[in-house]
Each structure stands twice: as C-alpha cells, then as structure tokens.
Amino acid sequence: MSLKLLKFQPGVVKDITAYAAGKVGPYYIDSDKVRFRDGYPTKIGGWVKEEMYGVNTASEADYSTTKTLDGVARNVAFWRSLSDGEDYMAIGTHSHLYILENEALFDITPLRATQAGLSNPFATTDGSSVITVTDASHGASAGDYVVFSGASAFNGIAANTLNSYFGYEITEVVNPNSYKVDVGTNANAASSGGGTVTAKYLIGLAAGLGTQTSASALGWGAGGWGDSTWGTPRTASATDVVLENSQWSLNLWGEDLIATVRNGAIYYWDTSAGVGSRAVLVSGLGGAADVPPENRVSTISFPDRHLVCGGTTPLGGSDIDPMLVRWSNQEDFKDWSVTATNTAGDQRLEVGTKIVAMQATRDETFIATDDAIYGMNFIGPPFTFSFRLLGTICGAISKNCMANVDGDIFWMSDRGFFFYDGSVKEIPCPVLHFVLDRVQLNKSEKIFVGTNKEFNEVAWYYVSTSNTDPDAEPDSYVTYNYRDAAWTVGTLDRTVWADSSGFRQVPFAFSKEGELYEHETGVDDDGSAMTAFITTSDVEISETGDSLAMVDKIIPDAVVSGSINMTVETQKYPNSTVISKGPFTISQNSNKISMRARGRQMSFKFESSAVGDDWRLGDFRINARTDGIR
C-alpha cells in the first residue's frame, strides 16, 4: 500500500461515536486549549498575570502591595477618558465595584450608610484578630462590607490596619447593634477602644449585592404541590425555583459609568470626580425623576442614547416586573418621567417569564427573555421604540451569554447556540449534548461569553458537573470559530473575558481568585507549562476497512517550537480492545516516525506539556500494507 494522506476536517465532534465521526469527517473528538486556524489545529496563545496594586488612600496608589479583587468578577467595561487621557477599567464583582487606573485598584462601591462619631466601638479578645464592632441599628448583614476611618491604634492593632482603605467583610452579625470583622492582626489584650470612628457601609445583600452563587428557594411555592410536609422547607433537589446570584450591568455614558445591580438600583460614577469618589444613586442626582428603584439588566440604546432597563419597576410601582422594559428620556439617563415633551416610556413583553439579557447593536437593542428574543428599534416620537418578536424557544441562558460581533449577536440558550444577523438562526453544534450535559444548570447564571476577533472566536465559559465546590465558578469552555464553523472544547478558569480594544491590545480575563490575565501573550500559563491536546476520530487504515493493515511509518506535518507528543491507537473493531503505541516525540526536525501498529482503524492524540511548547498541525501521512482479514 502506498502512503495514505490523513486529512481531518476542522472542529471537534462529540455527540456521535468516535468511529462515526471518522466516517462522516473524519473530525477530531476531543481537545483542550486548542483552536483552529484556516482549518488546522493549533495550540492557543498563552497568558501572563497583570499585577494590580492596592492604595493607601482614596487617591494614592501603593505600588509595593499587590491586590486581588474582593468578590468574583462578573462584568467589566473599559475606556479612555477624554478629559484627562487616563485609561480606566470598571470591574463589577459579586460584592464590589472597582476602578482600575494605571494598575491601581480603587473601590467605588456605593455606600448604603455612613455612621460618624462612634466612640471606642471596637472590642478585642487577646490573641484573636476578630473584632466586635458596636454600632446601634447598623442594618448590616453577614457578607456585607464596612470601611472604618479615624480609628486609633490599640491593643497591638495599628491604626493603618483598622483604617484599611478596602475595609472588611462582616463575618457575623451578633445582634442589631453589633457585628464582627477579622482585621488579620491578633490583639494583645482584651478591651474596648479605637477612639472616635466613622463606619461607612457598602451596599450589600439588601441592595442585591453579595450573593456569589444562585441558591435554591426552599420556602412556600418552591417545588410541586404536596412535596415535603406542611411547615418544612423543600430540599434543594426538589425545588425548581432559583434565587439569582449578584450581577452588574456596566454601561458607558460618554466617559462616565452607569452601573446597575441586578434586582437592584442604578448607580453613576463621574470620571471627572476622580478615583477617590464612589458611585452614587442615579435617583439621588439633581434632576432625577421617577428612576426605577429595581432593575434586572440595563443597556444604552444606539444611536439614540436612551438608558434602557429590562425587568424593572413600573412607573409609580414598588414591585419589580421581570418582563417590563423602561427607558429614560433621550440623552438624559436621570429623567424617567413620562410626559408629552420627552421620550421616556415603557413596554411589557409577553413571551417568557423574565428578561435575562440585553445587548445594544448597530441597528437595534437586542432583548432576550428566558424563552424568546425581541428587537427594540428606535422610531422616534410619539412611540419612541417599536418591538418585534424575533424568535421563540431560544432565550438566553444567562445575563452574560450574549456577544456582539460587528452587529451580529451570538448567544447560548438552555437548548443550543444561536446567532442573529437580521434573523435568528440556530448554529449547528456537534458538541451540544456534551456541553449541555456538563453544564451545572443551577450555576448557569455564571456562564460568560467572550470574543476573540483576531481568531474569529466566540467562547462560553461555564461551570462543569465535575466541579463539586458549592460556590463553583466557570472551569470549562466551548468555543465556536465562526469563520471555519468549527467547535472546540476545553478547560480554563475564567469568570469574565473581554476582547482587545482601544488601549487593551490583547484580550484579558479574570480568574475566580480575582486575578487579571492578559491572554494571547506568549505560549505558557503565566510562566508555567500549559498542557494542550487534540484527539482525532478513528479513521480506516485501508480504503474499505475490510482487511487489517500494518502501519510502520508516519510522516508528520507540523510546525513545532519545542516538541509535541503523538500517541497512536489502533483497533480491529469499533468496540474492540484499544492498542496504544507511543508517545512519540515530534520536533521541528522530525521527518518520520517509525513504529508498528496493526488494526482496521487508528486514531491519534497530539499533546504538549512543557514550557515554551508551541505547535500547529497539518496533514499527516502513513505507510501501511494489507495484513490479512482477521
């Protein structure tokens, strides 16, 4: 038998058997940290950590102390200010709102309350870093954050520690008048002190902020009628009602930031006020009128510039309507009153139970409920906007599952993957069941989509079923290359991803530990080895597969820096014992691999796991001869 060309089609196929994938392709059947470029697999780019630094005061950076985020990152926005030329990144975590300026991290989380003039409010225990704070009617919950100022050193705890810029998480509420925090430094005596202290309370659970993971509702109305017994909570496995985790909608109004807490209020941060200022309630600004107090999501319509909220409080109402859309007056995000002389208004949608996500595009505002997709088009007075039902049974699976790629929208639902280019279309996905079976549905609200336009990619990061942490964060991804129509799968710990744009020359992302990484930088995992692999489907060694064949030589086609290991597997039948040979090392100078393998079909796994490894595969050839029919 002469040399046989092995040419695989781009993309990973997992929803059929490996043998079937070989017959209809052949395709690849598994991957990790691999992408397709021009139809061929290649290792993805590496990443390096970008250090963030804490601050000493509300305006002065301390570049000697690195800082990670408090809370898990849920959304980002970045821009360059026209007034001062500075580059800013807003980062919303499940507990905070930050500004990153020149690598310095500033806390701009809105305040719920400020209590000044507390007299010696701290009580310590000898040898413990936990402090009990006394503040009458503090109104805080465990998990909320508080920042102290004006405190004096006492019992071995320095004033700078007590007055930490980033404050402390409230670990326990003792009673309505006291709570506990851990300051990280052990006291050397048991007494009260601290001098005259001001306590500033950040918005928290009462404002919709502070919930890392969606929790099952266990009370009245959760689960089916007759489930469990009277007066007892339902079990988490029995209920189908989920209380949502904390999320942010981050929108740019010129060079300023509008930040909306899901199921909470709308806040405004004025860039010109500086990083020493905090975001404030829009409803508290001068000229504010009828600003909705609770909202699920928000965006800014283009090009007409209305602030639009989906799932919001009706005008004059007090309870949120999860299917109501409201918008402010044009060019005025503070004015929501509906009059004959402005363009503010509202519209209730019908298909679905709640608005999940919104995305402004070049022509319309794209609105996703949990069951349907709507288009919101600016038409001017007197109706301002028209609404079209674009598709059903294709709603968004999470708030952050929708990506805008040059006006085309890609998103994930609990049924599949879709895109919109003027009409809604389902994307054929040969890994769909594999992904949907692995997604933890009770953590689907953590799914985040990221784009990488340089490589024509849209990727969804999700929590897999293999992650047993109760507060598990995304650990896996599925990527669609819309140029090659190729899918890949893999593992990566990222909760937020943003593409390169403006002053950000490469994509960047946050890990669950609150660290910032620059991607497509080098070929390694922040200086450590990155393991990447791709596995092919089975292919017939002979043309018909009737006879066994002996393979004694493989001619590789690969561009390699470092090395890549190749493992060869053969079988007599699709369900017979697998015979594995290798791994064989392929370098840039490898002309052939001599080996002996016998079977009807064979498959390959290509893997690299050393620092500096980089590779791209082409078309391989094998030398084989007929070796009988048994």
Question: Average pLDDT of the chain?
Answer: 93
* 150, part of any domain: yes
Is 396 among the domain residues? no
Check which CATH number belongs to the domain holding 138 and give it: 2.40.30.20
Total domains in the chain come to 2
**Is the residue at 601 inside a domain?**
yes
Q: Beta strands 516-519 and 532-536: pairing type?
A: unpaired
pLDDT (average), residues 575-597: 92
Residue finishing a domain among 202, 230, 255: 202
pLDDT in tens, 428-480: 999 999 999 999 999 999 999 999 999 999 999 999 999 999 999 999 999 99
User: In CATH, what number is assigned to the domain containing residue 553?
Assistant: 2.60.120
Whether 613 maps to a domain, the answer reads yes
Q: Tell me how crowded residue 485 is: count the other CB atoms within 10 A of its CB.
A: 13
Dist CA 496 CA 449 (whole Å): 8
Report the C-alpha gap between 611 and 40 in whole angstroms: 22
What is the pLDDT confidence band of residue 77, given thresholds at 50, 70 and 90? very high
117/195 same-domain check: yes
Domain membership flag for residue 24: yes
The verdict on residue 117 lying in a domain is: yes
In a domain, residue 73? The reply is no
Identify the DSSP state of 319: S
- What's the pLDDT band for 239 if we cut at 50, 70, 90? very low
Q: Which of 546, 541, 552 is CA-nearest to residue 629?
A: 546
- Whole-number pLDDT of residue 11: 98
85 or 513, which is more confident? 513
* 155 close to 191: Cβ distance less than 8 angstroms: yes
Name the pLDDT band for 625 (thresholds 50, 70, 90). Answer: confident
User: Do 37 and 118 belong to one domain?
Assistant: no
| CB within 8 Å of 353: residues ≥ 6 apart | 322, 323, 369, 370, 371
Judge if 546 and 620 occupy the same domain: yes
Of the three residues 163, 187, 202, the one that is the final residue of a domain is: 202
DSSP 28-44: EEEEESEEEETTEEEEP
Q: What string of DSSP letters covers 53-114?
A: EEESSSS-EEEEEE---SS-EEEEEEEE-TTT--EEEEEEESS-EEEEETTEEEE-PPEEEE
Q: Which position has the higher pLDDT, 243 or 305?
A: 305
Strand partners, 601: 540, 571
pTM of the predicted structure, to 2 decimals: 0.94
Task: Evaluate whether residue 79 is within a structural domain.
Answer: no
Peptide bond into 556 cis (omega under 30): no
Domain boundary among 153, 168, 202: 202
State the residue range of the domain holding 603. 3-46+531-626
